[in-house]
Amino acid sequence: MTSNYIPWVELYRPKSLEDIIGQPEIVKALKAYAGSRNMPHLIFAGPAGTGKTTSALSLAHDMYGDDFKHNILELNASDERGIDIVRGKIKDFARSAPITDVPFKIIFLDEADALTPEAQQALRRTMEMYSTNCRFILSCNWSSKLIEPIQSRCAVFRFRPLTSNEMAQMIERITKTEDLIIDKPATEALIGISEGDMRKIINVLQSISMISKKITEESVYKTASAAKPKEVGKMIETALAGDFKTSRSLLVNLMLDGGLSGEDIILQIHKDIVGSDYASLSDETRVRIIDKIGEYNFRMVEGANERIQLEALLAFLAMVGKE
């Protein structure tokens, strides 16, 4: 069993490109960079928990070996995003020479899309001036939020959400190392709530392991504060059958007993309407429902009462069902 003093999201982070699960095309390209000890400026773009930071740090580990810490500057641009950071920390590190046989150092900017436009302009100039002895890796959720001159100077790698098989491999690796017992429904539940975010799975596993060595479907949904797809599906089916009163009771149970927020529930409803095959719903009706879901979600985001908006959505589903 591993140490309980280190969060599992850090404990199980790969230290080498060889250990990364997922993103095979990207990992192949990064291995080529590490092998040749040469690389362009890079942009890693994609959803959270898909391996962007892990890939950047693993590339640096493979590139520098034991001298890793002296040749990489890691900054989170969401915390330090002003022009002073670019002119200070980044520029000072970029102008100094590397201390290994690799002819450049790496500056890794996480959450780079949070940099202010002024800071991005200053960063662009720094990338031009110090490209001989420094390479930049910019990690972001949306590469479109970076100014065009920066995008054109970088090779862009787009990370996709991890597949079910890739997440299942990681779950198996962790449960074996930590001596946890997990069944197939629990694995499927973990994959379902994660939506391709491996960090979310690892955090849920660690939370459950503090209480029990047996991971069940029930404990996954309870720990993740997520509604079971079956419960949401039953509520929607009841509403579409025209039984508003019963569907409203099911909604109250989800909100009060499950401790779910209105936004969590409406996202689950959207997923169910899009993904499930309701024989009673034509394509036209499904489109009308999704349009209403968008409207009620906007109202909740703007501050409307969650319970009233969700009940209004169920009332709409009941009217659609009666039609």
Q: What is the DSSP string of 188-245?
A: HHHHHHHTT-HHHHHHHHHHHHTT-SEE-HHHHHHHHT---HHHHHHHHHHHHTT-HH
pLDDT score recorded for residue 70: 86
Domain CATH number, residue 310 = 1.20.272.10
Q: Is the pLDDT of residue 1 over 90?
A: no
- Looking at the structure of the chain, the number of domains it has is 3
Domain CATH number, residue 120 = 3.40.50.300
pLDDT score recorded for residue 295: 94
Residue 278 domain-assigned (yes or no) = yes
The mean pLDDT value for 17-37 works out to 92
Q: Is the pLDDT of residue 279 over 70?
A: no
Q: Is the pLDDT of residue 169 over 60?
A: yes
Where among 108, 124, 158 does a domain terminate? 158
Residue 17 domain-assigned (yes or no) = no
Domain CATH number, residue 184 = 1.10.8.60
Please indicate, yes or no, whether residues 174 and 218 belong to a single structural domain of this protein. Answer: yes
Residue 2 domain-assigned (yes or no) = no
Q: What is the pLDDT of residues 227-270, one digit of tens each?
A: 888 888 899 999 988 899 999 999 988 888 777 888 889 988 99
pLDDT score recorded for residue 298: 94
**Torsion angle, alpha carbons of 236, 242, 245, 251, to 10:** 10
CB 243 within 8 A of CB 284: no
Domain span including residue 204: 166-224
pLDDT score recorded for residue 44: 96
- Residue, of 7 and 278, whose pLDDT is higher: 7
pLDDT score recorded for residue 4: 59
Exposure pattern of 212-241 as b/e (b: 16+ CB <10 Å)?
eeebbbebbbbbbebbbbebbbebbbbbbe
Residue 212 domain-assigned (yes or no) = yes
Of 110-119, 153-162, 196-205, the range with the lowest mean pLDDT is 110-119
Please indicate, yes or no, whether residues 207 and 117 belong to a single structural domain of this protein. Answer: no
- Residue, of 196 and 31, whose pLDDT is higher: 31
The mean pLDDT value for 306-313 works out to 93
Please indicate, yes or no, whether residues 282 and 233 belong to a single structural domain of this protein. Answer: yes
Q: Is the pLDDT of residue 84 over 70?
A: no
Where among 202, 224, 246 does a domain terminate? 224
pLDDT score recorded for residue 93: 82
CB 57 within 8 A of CB 13: yes
Helices 217-224 and 184-194: crossing angle, nearest 10°? Answer: 20
Distance (Å, rounded) from C-alpha 83 to C-alpha 78? 13
Q: Is the pLDDT of residue 31 over 90?
A: yes
Beta bridge pairs of residue 156? 43
Please indicate, yes or no, whether residues 149 and 172 belong to a single structural domain of this protein. Answer: no
Please indicate, yes or no, whether residues 139 and 103 belong to a single structural domain of this protein. Answer: yes
pLDDT score recorded for residue 191: 92
Q: Is 79 exposed, middle or buried (0-12, 13-18, 19+ CB in 10 A)?
A: exposed
Residue with tokens 């002895």: 133
Q: What are phi and psi of 76, to 5 degrees?
A: -100, 110
The mean pLDDT value for 178-190 works out to 92
pLDDT score recorded for residue 229: 84
Indicate yes or no: pTM above 0.75. Answer: yes
Where among 158, 186, 214 does a domain terminate? 158
Residue 215 domain-assigned (yes or no) = yes
Residue 16 domain-assigned (yes or no) = no
Please indicate, yes or no, whether residues 98 and 217 belong to a single structural domain of this protein. Answer: no
- Residue, of 42 and 227, whose pLDDT is higher: 42
Average pLDDT value over all residues in the chain: 88
pLDDT score recorded for residue 81: 60
Residue 11 domain-assigned (yes or no) = no
Residue 141 domain-assigned (yes or no) = yes
Please indicate, yes or no, whether residues 179 and 278 belong to a single structural domain of this protein. Answer: no
Q: Which residues contact 3 (CB under 8 A, 6 or more apart)?
A: 11
Please indicate, yes or no, whether residues 134 and 151 belong to a single structural domain of this protein. Answer: yes
Please indicate, yes or no, whether residues 152 and 29 belong to a single structural domain of this protein. Answer: yes
- Residue, of 160 and 5, whose pLDDT is higher: 160
By percentage, how much of the chain surpasses pLDDT 90?
Answer: 49
Please indicate, yes or no, whether residues 149 and 213 belong to a single structural domain of this protein. Answer: no
pLDDT score recorded for residue 167: 92
Q: Which residues contact 51 (CB under 8 A, 6 or more apart)?
A: 20, 22, 23, 159, 162, 198
Please indicate, yes or no, whether residues 154 and 170 belong to a single structural domain of this protein. Answer: no
Please indicate, yes or no, whether residues 217 and 261 belong to a single structural domain of this protein. Answer: no
Beta bridge pairs of residue 99? none
